[in-house]
Amino acid sequence: MNNKFLGYLSIPLTLAGHNMQAQQADETCSSEKTIGKKMNIVFILSDDHRYDYMGFVEKIPWLQTPSMDRMAHEGAWMKNAFVTTSLSSPSRASILTGMYSHSHKVVDNTAPLPKGLTFFPEYLQKTGYKTAFFGKWHMGNDSGDPQPGFDHWEAFKGQGEYYNPRLNTNGKWIQYADSVYVTDLLTQHAIDFIDQQTKNHQPFMVYLSHKGVHDNFQPAKRHKGCYRDKPLVYPASFNTPKYGITTPPTINSLTGKAASGKDFYGENMMPNWVKNQRESWHGVDYSYHGRPWETQVRNYCETLRSVDESIGAVLDYLVEKGLDKNTIVIYMGDNGFAWGEHGLIDKRQFYEESVRVPMLVWAPGLFPGGEVIEKMVQNVDIAPTLMHCAGLEKAPQMVGESFVPLLLGKNIPWRDKIFYEYYWEYEFPQTPTMHGVRTDRYKYIRYHGIWDTNEFYDLKNDPDEMHNLIADPACQDTIKSLNHELYNWLESTDGMSIPLKRTEWPHGDHRNTGNY
């Protein structure tokens, strides 16, 4: 393996400061000029990285992510970034198409790609970009074969391997050996591609899609055991829901109403499917068929370190070659991940740790660093944003919006709510079909096809989502309004039909062509 990667890792990470007032006029002019021409694009995607597992967030005191910290300090942290479906394949399809799951129809991890979808790199190719994909596709047609929109292709089949991966390189399979670590390999190859395009004076778009930090977590050898003895941070909702029945609220004999009932509305109203999932392989009581979840959390964090180093290597290379002034780098996770919240692990739910993702933007030539964007952005905004950076209008079928104006500090009309959807999977039946809506203050979750309770949370007063207020009389008007908003969204986006597909278990054909 080329040793340049380790060389880039050794470059000191400096958190450059900015005198924003002194530079404001020049940077504004520079930004307008930069966005008017083709910017180089690097999009880095990780798998199952939750939004608050970054060093600068200080959720986990001992977690080290210096390159993510650097992106936040030198660029922008999209503090409220969400996916529309918290599952790898639907989210990845939304990133590439700018469409909701019920529109692009990639509703789970085995659904095939329907005909007629166009990925945003295809639009970039038509304007002269050289495009490349490196890593984990995992979205329909996941055989490892090249997919539309990419001039250069290096990918593995399905989940791939952390060590000694087998990659399809432009149609030819190459088996790596000698303990080659996949994160390092993909990063070096991405840098090599950028280097070649720079020599050819070609604008480029690199989609670097890491396997990390997906289970079965395997850190690079240099990081193995580095967090072995670190104390775990247990979430506030680790024991919510609890089993058993709490004392009902006191009833006022004159009014017939509950005199107090916060705990009653909260604990007793948690869905039964959540209680049941706690004891499944997606719960802390039997995580991953009995592997202690405590060990898995530490392995997860150790595996994350190589992803962080990958980011740093890319940034260092861009700066070294003078490409930083006309390149935008976006880092994000494909979905969040629960590590004990509500007694759960994994994703799929509409709880905060599942639906929120890390999203960092670095573009020194476009905007000054140290920004924190509070507006709610989603994975469907990635395609319009990157097309904007290429000097293109978003495609008509894209429902997201470019957040470049937010990076430039412009006050523009923006969404005040996000919507969510997840469709029950035959292979993972623990989580039901659900739709939801979230504002800055409230969250409403509606379940479909099960006899259970819906959920409503006041995120301002209950950020850990421990008190379900779905039956609180004082909340009924708000719940009703959000329910209307949810159905208005589904009706206006042709989402009133649940996408169905052929399913048989077991089967190994992700295209379902052999199932009858």
Average pLDDT over the chain, rounded to an integer: 88
pLDDT of residue 248 exceeding 80, the answer is: no
pLDDT confidence of residue 513: 44
Structure tokens at 168: 């399809």
Largest CA distance in the chain: 83
Contact call for residues 365 and 322 (beta carbons, < 8 A): no
Is the pLDDT confidence value at 162 over 60? yes
Q: What number of CA atoms fall less than 13 Å from residue 124's CA on the CB side? A: 33
Res 140: pLDDT: 79
Contact 70, 406 (CB under 8 A): no
Please give the pLDDT value at position 15: 27
Better pLDDT: 507 or 66: 66
User: If you average pLDDT over residues 323-352, what whole number do you get?
Assistant: 97
- Per-residue pLDDT tens over the stretch 416-466: 999 999 999 988 899 999 999 999 999 999 999 999 999 999 999 999 999
pLDDT above 50 (res 385): yes
Task: Report strand pairing: 442-448 vs 455-458.
Answer: antiparallel
Residue linked to tokens 């991940």: 337
Residue 242 banded pLDDT, cuts 50, 70, 90: low
Are 57 and 406 within 8 A, CB to CB?
Answer: no
Q: Phi, psi (5° rounding) for residue 500?
A: -110, 155
User: What is the Cα 315 distance to its own chain's centre?
Assistant: 21
Tens digit of each residue's pLDDT (9 = 90 or more) over 47-72: 999 999 999 999 999 999 999 999 99
**185-230: per-residue pLDDT in tens?**
999 999 999 999 999 999 999 999 999 999 999 999 999 999 999 9
Q: What is the band of 499 on the pLDDT scale with cuts at 50, 70, 90?
A: confident
385: number of Cβ within 10 Å:
26
pLDDT at 265: 52
Condensed to tens digits (0 to 9), the pLDDT of residues 71-100 reads: 999 999 999 999 999 999 999 999 999 999
CB-based burial of residue 164 (10 Å sphere; 0-12 exposed, 13-18 middle, 19+ buried)? middle
Distance of CA 481 to the CA centre of its chain: 28
Q: Domains (ranges, CATH) in the chain?
A: 32-239+287-410 (3.40.720.10)
Cβ atoms 341, 353 nearer than 8 A: yes
pLDDT at position 443 is 98
Q: Rounded to the nearest 10 degrees, how much is the dihedral formed by the CA atoms of 344, 345, 349, 350?
A: 90
pTM for the model stands at 0.89
User: Strands, DSSP E only, in 162-305?
Assistant: 166-169, 172-175, 204-209
Rounded distance, CA 274 to CA 397, Å? 35
* Of the candidate ranges 161-170, 225-234, 255-264, 342-351, the one whose mean pLDDT is the lowest: 255-264
Cα–Cα dist 25/236, whole Å: 45
Identify the pLDDT of residue 35.
59
Strand partners, 206: 42, 132
